[in-house]
């Protein structure tokens, strides 16, 4: 399992950084992708166990930049065994309090990065992925419960699940398994302000466990789904929300 070539998008902080560290800790070589956060991504790169890791940059709304980035990773590593589509943007745009121009912009940017960007990264990576490859997509509980304040986010994460299931069917004959993790609230820097005080207490109380996930717990789920033992989980959506949202 060790010494795989792994590309993690959006790995400069939070869940992506934890995923990068988890793979590196098993002996894998990791490409740490970022969009604009060079310093933070460099810090993550420096924190990884082992050596042979790589820092890469690309705007995931730019198809040409994605192609160049993925090809650079493959050229350095020789192949791509695991792709983790983690990068995403979260832009509030409630329909009753957003101008039409803002509405269009939020939809274009959110879908461009969260869904189309992930689809493009997948197309590019599969060209370099051998049999036994793994693709793990990071979706959200919001794909199922709805996101009234940021509907494009909910739509993009639901679309990512449908995309992953389509790819599980398409890539299975090549021995490539495709899965999705759908976390609820996660204790990241991005979420910190919304997890403080009474508002945070309400969010933690959504789960009967009385807490939210850590980035490391999400990373552990990704590590399992990317393992050889998880091949038959292909097409699966793993909810990681502490029973705050239950579905059949």
- Cα–Cα distances in angstroms (integers) from residue 69 to residues 18, 65, 208, in the given order: 21, 6, 42
Assess whether 153 carries a catalytic annotation. Answer: yes
CA pair distance 93, 103, nearest whole angstrom: 6
Instruction: Report the length, in residues, of the chain.
Output: 248
Sign of CA dihedral 48, 50, 51, 56: negative
Kindly provide the residue ranges of all beta strands, DSSP E only, lying in 35-103, ordered along the sequence.
Answer: 54-57, 82-85
Nearest to 29 by CA among 78, 63, 68, 64: 78
Choose, from 153, 180, 188, 206, the residue flagged as catalytic: 153
Residues 6+ apart with CB under 8 A from 245: 141, 144, 145, 184, 239
Report the largest interatomic distance among the alpha carbons of the chain, rounded to a whole angstrom.
Answer: 50
* CA 99 to centroid of chain Cα atoms: 29
State the first-to-last Cα distance of the chain, in angstroms, to the nearest integer.
32
Residues 6+ apart with CB under 8 A from 248: none
**Per-state percent for the chain, helix, strand, coil, to nearest 5:** 50, 15, 35
Tokens coding 93: 């745009």
Residues with catalytic roles: 153
């Amino acid at each position: 399992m060790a010494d795989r070539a792994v590309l993690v998008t959006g790995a400069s902080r939070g869940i992506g950084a934890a995923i990068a560290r988890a793979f590196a800790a098993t002996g894998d070589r990791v490409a740490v992708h970022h969009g604009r956060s060079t310093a933070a991504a460099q810090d993550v790169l420096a924190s990884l166990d082992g050596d042979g890791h790589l820092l890469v940059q690309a705007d995931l709304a730019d198809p040409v930049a994605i192609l160049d980035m993925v090809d650079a990773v493959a050229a350095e590593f020789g192949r791509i065994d695991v792709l983790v589509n983690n990068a995403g943007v979260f832009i509030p745009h409630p329909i009753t309090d957003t101008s039409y121009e803002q509405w269009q912009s939020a939809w274009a940017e959110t879908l461009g990065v969260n869904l189309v960007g992930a689809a493009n990264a997948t197309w590019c990576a599969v060209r370099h992925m051998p049999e036994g490859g793994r693709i793990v997509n990071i979706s959200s509980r919001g794909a199922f419960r709805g996101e009234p304040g940021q509907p494009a986010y909910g739509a993009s994460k639901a679309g990512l699940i449908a995309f992953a299931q389509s790819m599980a069917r398409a890539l299975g004959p090549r021995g490539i398994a495709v899965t999705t993790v759908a976390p609820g609230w996660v204790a990241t820097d991005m979420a910190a302000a919304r997890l403080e005080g009474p508002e945070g207490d309400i969010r933690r109380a959504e789960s009967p466990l009385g807490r939210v996930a850590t980035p490391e717990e999400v990373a552990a789920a990704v590590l399992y789904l990317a393992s050889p033992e998880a091949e038959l989980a292909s097409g699966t959506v793993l909810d990681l929300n502490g029973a705050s949202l239950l579905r059949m």
